[in-house]
Every structure is written in C-alpha cells, then in structure tokens.
Amino acid sequence: MATTKTNISVQLTGTDGNIFCVIAKVREALRRNGRSDLIKEITDYITSSSSYEEALCRVMEYVIVK
C-alpha cells in the first residue's frame, strides 16, 4: 500500500469530477483535520499538473482517496 503525506481520508465518489471541486474537497478535509499548513502547497502542486490524471495522482500523494 502506498503511503500518503497525511492519514486524512477524502470521499471523492459521487463528487463532481471537475478538478477544482476535487481540490475544494481536499482543502476542506485538510482544514477539518488541522492541516491547513498544507493547503497552499497542495493547491499549487495540483494546479501545476499537466493533465487531469496527473492531478489526481498528486491528490493521492497527500490524502487517502475513497
């Protein structure tokens, strides 16, 4: 099993597939779990992706996606 930078889980099933909606869910999860310090870092990292698939892989580096 791959490791993530946090142990925070984010439910993306049923979420609008727009990457900005995904980012919003991840940011909210970070905020709720006391990791606001990562919000700018992950936002910049994801938005610099060259594809949707790359952006999702980057999301999975930070949080556990369900």
pLDDT in tens, 50-65: 999 999 999 999 999 9
**CB of 65 closer than 8 Å to CB of 14:** no
Q: What is the DSSP string of the chain?
A: ----SS--EE--TTS---HHHHHHHHHHHHHHTT-GGGHHHHHHHHHT-SSHHHHHHHHHHHSEE-
Unique residue bearing structure tokens 């909210």: 28
For the whole model, what pTM was predicted? 0.89
pLDDT in tens, 5-49: 999 999 998 878 899 999 999 999 999 999 999 999 999 999 999
Unique residue bearing structure tokens 């999975």: 60
CB atoms within 10 A of CB 15: 12
